[in-house]
Structure 1
Amino acid sequence: MSTTRNPFTSEESPAAGVVIEDLSKNFGDHEVLKHISLRVEPGEIFVLMGPSGSGKSVLLKHIVGLEEATSGRVLVDCRDANNEETREKVRMALVFQAGALFNSMTVYDNLALYPREHRIATEAGIREKVERALQILSLEDTASKFPSELSGGMRKRVAIARALVMEPQLLLYDEPTSELDPVMAASISEIIGTLRDEYHVTSIVVSHDRDLALSIADRVGLLMDGELIALETPTEMRASKDPRVIDFLNPRIDVKNPRFKKLET
């Protein structure tokens, strides 16, 4: 069994796998997810790609138990994702697209909030966990700063550090490289890969960033219009003959399109 080497103690805990079985989700008459089935193995980096509006974030919400399926189910570590007991038994952490940091709190207090509220350690123990997480993300100098004093890339790293303090078995990322320049996006991608390699945390990454997906993923799923049209390794996806996969990975702009002529006038 793959294990998560706890970066803050010497304990080990099993990395959590995810199984999605024939999952569909409707909002009114609109079918957002259509019979999705996939398995994410413990310790794997799985990247879910797709254009905006394809249902990626909705699927992520089902995994963390924030949405109930219209049909089908999601199992996290063999437990129903919508069961309150699952959220108590399986340590899951979500890195939000915008970071979701509290602007009125310092970086240190943002990271210390969860263990303080849940009383999972003494204040000295919390300090050790926070300082260790900041060290892993090379953020030692930011502890006393407020989120507003940080760049977008640093806020993303702080959000990842906050997730690490929760000692997760399953780490989920919602568009972790959005709104970042290419250099910082590459840095975040490296961090995700390093956390898997060093601590064997199961990682599910929702992104439309093909460079991130094809560089760090063990497997990639491509979601379009609520359907999972491809589920392959990066090598297999690069070699795909499916025109939908080819068009997504290698978008082309038709400069002869009449819409471009209108922009020129």
Structure 2
Amino acid sequence: MLITLYGADSYRRLRKLREIVDAYTSKQGNLSRERFSLIEKEDLENLKGFLSGQSMFSTKKLVILDEPFEFEDTKALKVVLKEYVDSVDTTILINTTKKHPAPFKFIEEKPSKFEEFALLKEKNLVDFIKKEAERLSISLDAREISSIVGSLGSDTWKIVTELEQIALRRAKKLDAKQFTSQPEYFPSLNTLKGGSNIGERLIALEKLIGERGDDPARIFNGLAYQLKNAEEAQMYADYDIAVKAGKLEYEEVLLAIALGLRFNPLV
């Protein structure tokens, strides 16, 4: 059997992959399992060797095949995959961000299984945030959801990370009033990034670090998301390199951003 998980949303795609692997492992027990990335020709030979080999413990096999459509020899790959379309004992689980070429159309057709994980938009994205919030036992109002969408877009990895941070902070608050009086993360972040004057940006920075206690590295990474132009992207990249090289601390970078300073931190 062939199962294909395809799409740009790697968080949901990899979560589904993990669910399938866990289910197979639980059901089959001592099945033979391997993971392959096809880069060199010998990688395909190693895959073929595993598929054709005999196991002492089980006839069942599960292969995870990462990004197979990056492999140059598509004809040889097609032959291998075709051989296992109707297999009962061997399951090939294809994990790919790249759309398969036309000759591989058969992976979408029965008995194979095909699931796409496109980037979520609009209502689907909001529904995802609500479900993840429910999973983490946190309640979000419409304004908070809108702030998350506006700041993180369709990046589900960052969304889930942010929701986990919220859940952790709320779990630490014994007094609900103490939490509600705390400045919100996204509005303060947006003000620090796009505030019209230095005063607004400095106040926002103080709220994030002083009142909320957010990690400066996290604030910096939040600011570096969805930049306006190549010049701004280069500025953030230079700051990041300077911090990792030990020339600056994230606190110094954030202060420079709040003050609207523009200089090359690598000089």
TM over 0.5: no
Decide which structure has greater strand share.
1
TM-score, normalised relative to structure 1: 0.34
Decide which structure has greater helix share.
2
TM-score, normalised relative to structure 2: 0.34
Which structure is larger by alpha-carbon Rg, 1 or 2? 2
Higher relative contact order (CA 8 A, sep 6+): 1
